Amino acid sequence: MNFKARLFVYLTLSVVTAQSGLLGLPPGTSQPYQPLGPRQNTNAAAANCACGYYIPETKLTFTHRLTLNPATLQASDLARGLYRQGWRIDQYKLNSSPKAIYYAASNVRLNTRAKTLDLYVSGGPANRPVVRSAEITTLLENIRYGSFRFNVKASAVPGTCHGMFLYKDDNNEIDIEILTSYLRQTGKPQGAGTPDPGLQLTIQKLRKNQPQANYKVVPFDDRTDPTNGFHDYRFDWTSTGVNYFFNQKLYGFSRYIPQAGGSVIVNNWSNGDICKLIPGHIFR
C-alpha cells in the first residue's frame, strides 16, 4: 500500500552552552498552538479520507500525530524509549568539507536534571578530521504534508548548525536552521559568501536548474533571541505551499514546492566551515 502520512508533529527542544553541543526536549511545556480536536470518526482505512486530527486555526486535518516527550524517557534505555515514541538515534559518517561529520549515538543524551533530550556537537582540537555531531530522525519515512512545530532554545556559543527539517533527498527538503555563528547583526561588514544573521528558512531547489530556492532570513531581536529561553518554530506543508510561522508572523512560499514524502530530522552539527566553526555546543 503506497500510503503517505499527513503528520502533525510537536517537539520541545532546547540548546544550552556546554563543552559539547546539545539539543534538548523538556517536558511539561505548555503547548503554544491550538490543541488538536479529537480524531474524526471516519473511514480510517481510506488513504485520502477526511479523517484525522483537525486543527481549527488552519482548518487542516492530519492522519497521524507524532510528539516527542522526554519526561517519559529513561537515560538507561534512551534509544528504545525514543523508538517507542517514533524516533531513532542516527549513527553514521557523512563526508563533508573541510571536515567530515560523524553523527554519534552517544551525542544524543537525556538530561535527567533538566528533563531535556540533548543533542551535542563535541568540542576538540581544531585540526581533527571529523566533528562528532548528533541527530534524531522519525521512523516514518513517507510523511507527505503536515504541521511541524518545535520549541527550541539555542546555543549561545558560535559554531554549529541546529537543523529542524523535512527530508527526502537534497532536492526535496524543507529547512529551519539556526546558525550559532550568525545570530545577530554585529554592525561589522559581512564577508563575501557569509549568511545574513537570523533564522534561516529554506526550501531547497527541486532541480539544479531551478531559477531560485525559496529562502528567507528572519532577524532575531532581544525578544526572539534563540539563546534566551524557548521559542516556537513551525512550518506547515501542503500540496500548494509551505508556510513558516515565527514570532507571530507568517512567511509563505507557493512556488517550487516539494511533493515527495520524507522524514523529519532534528540535528546539531558542524563541518568546520567558516560559517559553522567548531567549539562545543549543546542544542536542546
User: What average pLDDT score do residues 181-191 get?
Assistant: 71
Class (C level, CATH) for 5-283: mainly beta
Residue-wise pLDDT for 222-257, tens only, equals 999 998 888 889 999 988 999 999 988 999 999 999
Q: Which three cell numbers stand for residue 197?
A: 544573521
How many CB atoms sit inside 10 A of residue 141's CB?
13
Instruction: pLDDT band for 283, please (50, 70, 90 cuts).
Output: low
d(CA 13, CA 153): 6
- pLDDT higher than 80, residue 76: yes
Are 197 and 128 in contact by the 8 Å Cβ rule? The answer is: no
Instruction: pLDDT band for 116, please (50, 70, 90 cuts).
Output: confident
Tell me: cis bond preceding 158? Omega within 30 of 0 counts. no
User: What average pLDDT score do residues 151-158 get?
Assistant: 82
| CA distances (Å), origin 276, targets 119, 160, 165, 176, 207 | 16, 5, 18, 16, 26
Task: Read off the pTM.
Answer: 0.83
Question: Which residues have CB under 8 Å from 156's CB, separation 6+?
Answer: 17, 180, 227
- pLDDT recorded at residue 1: 34
- As a dihedral over the C-alpha atoms of residue 198, residue 284, residue 248, residue 276, rounded to 10 degrees, the angle is 10
Are 124 and 254 in contact by the 8 Å Cβ rule? The answer is: no
Burial class (CB in 10 A: 0-12, 13-18, 19+), 192: exposed
- pLDDT recorded at residue 17: 23
- pLDDT higher than 60, residue 192: no
d(CA 264, CA 276): 22
The residue ranking higher by pLDDT, 174 or 72, is: 174
- pLDDT higher than 80, residue 91: yes
Domain ranges of the chain: 5-283
How many CB atoms sit inside 10 A of residue 44's CB?
12
